């Protein structure tokens, strides 16, 4: 009797997964159902089958979903801002302990801070190390 329960859970999980365009919504339960089905074929009690189903489903969610989500992510929008990283430029406005500086990189004016939180004078050549929010992290050359 429980054999068919696991087959039905497996089938429903796969159908839901395909209907959600493989968004990793229910595949974990399909895998758990297969494990429970194997436990059923080994003549385990219904409670053991249920525990196997729950544990295998949770393990699959916890271990595979973060990796798969990063791999399948399709909503990354390229802004070309990363082209500024590694560029050299001259500070237009000094960086102080109390205020951000300004630098023009690729014809775009950016606020910037120094990587070591030390002041950098106006006119100093800097190198862009990273982008943090709407400002550049720079270092003196």
Residue whose C-alpha is closest to residue 134's, from 117, 116, 103, 111: 111
Distance separating alpha carbons of residues 136 and 139, to the nearest angstrom: 10
- The CATH classification of domain 81-140, taken from the options 3.30.70.2190, 2.40.50.140, 3.40.190.10, 3.10.450.240: 2.40.50.140
DSSP label of 84:
G
Q: Do the Cβ atoms of 94 and 119 come closer than 8 Å?
A: yes
What is the domain partition of the chain in residue ranges? Answer: 2-72, 81-140
pLDDT the model gives residue 25: 79
pLDDT tens per residue across all 141 residues of the chain = 799 999 999 999 999 988 887 677 788 999 999 999 999 999 999 999 999 999 999 998 888 767 666 665 555 555 677 888 999 999 999 999 889 999 999 889 999 999 998 999 999 999 999 998 889 999 999
Phi first, then psi, for residue 82 (nearest 5°) are -65, -10
Q: What is the pLDDT of residue 74?
A: 55
pLDDT number for residue 86: 93
* CA dihedral (84, 132, 79, 64) positive or negative: positive
Asked if residues 141 and 100 have their Cβ atoms less than 8 Å apart, the reply is: no
The answer to whether residues 141 and 88 touch, using CB atoms and an 8 Å cutoff, is yes
Provide the pLDDT for residue 75: 54
Rounded to 10°, the helix 46-72/27-41 angle is 150
pTM of the model: 0.51
């Amino acid at each position: 009797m429980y054999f068919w329960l696991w087959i039905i859970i497996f089938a429903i999980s796969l159908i839901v997964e395909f209907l959600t365009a493989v968004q990793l919504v229910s595949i974990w339960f399909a895998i758990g159902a297969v494990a429970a089905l194997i436990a059923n074929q080994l003549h385990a009690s219904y409670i053991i089958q249920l525990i196997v189903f729950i544990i295998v489903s949770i393990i699959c969610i916890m271990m595979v979903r973060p990796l798969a989500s990063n791999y399948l992510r399709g909503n990354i929008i390229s802004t070309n801002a990363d082209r500024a990283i590694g560029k050299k430029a001259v500070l237009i406005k000094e960086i102080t302990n109390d205020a951000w500086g300004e630098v023009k990189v690729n014809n775009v004016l950016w606020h910037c801070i120094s990587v070591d939180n030390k002041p950098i004078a106006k006119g100093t050549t800097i190198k862009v190390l990273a982008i943090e929010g709407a400002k550049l992290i720079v270092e003196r050359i």
